[in-house]
Amino acid sequence: MAQIKEACGVFGIYHPGGEDAAGSIYYGLSSLQHRGQESCGIAVCDTAGPMGNMNVHRGMGLVNEVFREDTLRALRGNLGIGHVRYSTTGAATLNNAQPLVLNYIKGTLALAHNGNLVNTEELRQELARTGAIFQTTTDSEVIAYYIARERVHTRTVEEAIRRTADRIKGAYGLVIASPRKLIGVRDPLGLKPLCLGKLGDSYIIASESCALSALGAQFLRDVRPGEIITVSPAGISSNLELCREKQAHCIFEYIYFARLDSRLDGHAVYDARIKAGAALARSHPADADLVTGVPDSGITAAQGYAAQSGIPFGTVFYKNSYVGRTFIKPTQKERESAVRLKLNVLESAVKGKDLVLIDDSIVRGTTITGLIRLLKQSGAGKVHVRISSPPFLYPCYYGTDVPSNKQLLAYAHPVEEICSIIGADSLGYMKVSDLSSMAEGLPLCRACFDGCYPTAL
């Protein structure tokens, strides 16, 4: 519960040869599971069948819990989209699971959305005043409604999407399925990732390149910020009318969200985290016997720190892979027991040694406090904590579940106090000025660290 969460992951595929898309979407969503674990869904249609033949299945839980072999067999269609969700706007209920499917005067539309809008309430009220009835509490439904409304007055669904994009503000990576088209849309700032791939004659649009790798597909390129990509029986086309010079890619994709084997906007996530660890070693050196990382998010940065500092890297935690994601208990004693079930210390690896412990972030401080206590109870000497991101000081409005300021440990306490609170012997955060070294030359959104938001709120 102390971890920062991402909003969602999206995946879309079009098989022009007529093969069913549901199996491909299943594997794509499974590889994006790290982006959302609350709910998931798949919507498919047959491009050779009658218009409006959208078939959808959604459920609460992980992809392999919601979709069984018989469920996938029932989802017949060669074009489809999928979604994994963690709620940041709207409650964690089945009603809010995606993809959303709308039946309207021009036909059928399915939409899956990653990100958050910052003008949702304004748009929702405008729609409500003209008679819209909402079935969910998500900003994604607002996007879908506006596209459907604009489509009534436009020649193509792409034009309706472009007009809608002029109204919505914030972060979004969208995959949209109409009866004959697969469409991908990325917000003009590039806050949320989206990429294009190809498998034989089939095209794929997904949140991360790791979803392409899961199918053995070729990574073609990232969708440009502001770009609308359309895949249809006529081929593939691109609209760049929404593209702007100003960009602001989310830095936390590189720090934590994206899977280690993904590439985002020309940069390997693995390389970015190695660079983060090296920057930490330069700015916050420590006298220690061993460098280690908190599984799994701190491991790569710890390797970068070790390589830069010359201190050996070692594994000191055993991670129990069979503890379920729902192992959250209400009392402090039960939470501590849960931590011990999920992570246990390798006593022989730490006994009598001074350690550098790397993690990607400190939010409320509860997790790192428990791990330091476990290390010292197992015989570790000093524990020097290093964090591969700056202190969280401001909430995020673009789809990263950063809590309000009052819940952020760094907002209420200086570094020296945090060090004492978590029981570390020293504490060092990555400098905001060092973030650019993770994705060299890429314009970044660092608002959760410096309060400089790239849009009006």
Domain ranges of the chain: 8-247, 270-450
Give pLDDT, residue 341: 74
Reported as a pLDDT band with limits 50, 70 and 90, residue 105 is confident
For residue 328, pLDDT beyond 50: no
Helix (H, G, I), strand (E, B) or coil at 235: strand
Can you give the pLDDT at residue 1? 33
- For 384-401, how does the pLDDT look when each residue is reduced to its tens digit (9 = 90+)? 999 999 998 988 889 877
Block residue for tokens 């950063």: 402
- 329-339 mean pLDDT: 52
- 95 pLDDT band, cuts 50/70/90, is confident
pLDDT (0 to 100) of residue 71: 96
What's the pLDDT score for residue 421? 95
Which residues have CB under 8 Å from 310's CB, separation 6+?
A: none
Whether 360 has a pLDDT exceeding 90, the answer reads yes
91: confidence class by pLDDT, cuts 50, 70, 90: low
Q: Which residues form the catalytic set?
A: 8
- The residues, ordered by sequence, that sit 6+ positions from 305 with a Cβ below 8 Å of its Cβ are 277, 278, 280, 281, 291, 311, 356, 358, 386
Is residue 327 over pLDDT 50?
no
pLDDT for the residue numbered 30: 98
Res. 402 pLDDT band, cuts 50 70 90: low
- Residue 339 has what pLDDT? 62
Mean pLDDT, the chain, integer? 91
Q: In this model, does residue 7 exceed pLDDT 70?
A: no
CB-side exposure of 361: number of CA atoms within 13 Å?
22
Q: Please determine, for residue 6, whether its predicted confidence score (pLDDT) is greater than 60.
A: no
Q: How many CB atoms lie within 10 A of CB 96?
A: 22
Which residue in 139, 138, 237, 141 sits closest to 184, CA to CA? 237
Q: Per-residue pLDDT averaged across 333-340, rounded?
A: 57
pLDDT above 90 as % of the chain:
76
Q: What is the pLDDT of residues 160-187, one digit of tens each?
A: 999 999 999 999 999 999 989 999 999 9
- What would the mean pLDDT of 230-241 be, rounded to a whole number? 95
DSSP string, 295-325: TTTTHHHHHHHHHHH-PPB---EEE-TTS-T
The highest-confidence range among 123-137, 417-431, 439-453, by mean pLDDT, is: 417-431
Q: What is the pLDDT of residue 441?
A: 83
Return phi, psi of residue 232, to 5°.
-150, 175
The pLDDT of residue 403 is above 90: no
Which CATH topology does 8-247 take?
Glutamine Phosphoribosylpyrophosphate, subunit 1, domain 1 (3.60.20)
Q: Tokens 């034989």 appear where?
A: 200
Average pLDDT over residues 143-154: 93
Q: How far apart are CA 165 and CA 452, in angstroms?
A: 23
Architecture per CATH, domain 270-450, reads as 3-Layer(aba) Sandwich (3.40)
Q: Which of 243-257, 337-351, 398-412 comes out lowest in average pLDDT?
A: 398-412
107 has a pLDDT exceeding 90: no
Rounded Cα–Cα distance for residues 30 and 148 (Å) = 30
Q: Which residue has the higher pLDDT, 193 or 327?
A: 193
Confidence at 53, pLDDT banded by 50, 70, 90? confident
60-86: per-residue pLDDT in tens? 999 999 999 999 999 999 999 999 998
139 in Cβ contact with 187 (< 8 Å): no
Q: What is the pLDDT of residues 438-455, one digit of tens each?
A: 988 899 999 999 999 999
pLDDT of residue 132: 82
Are β-strands 426-429 and 383-387 bridged in parallel, bridged antiparallel, or unpaired? parallel
Q: How far apart are CA 177 and CA 52, in angstroms?
A: 11
Please tell me the distance from the alpha carbon of residue 191 to that of residue 209, in angstroms, as a whole number.
16
| Residue 309 region by backbone torsions, left for phi larger than 0, else alpha for psi between -120 and 50, else beta | alpha
- Could you tell me what percent of the chain has a pLDDT over 70? 92
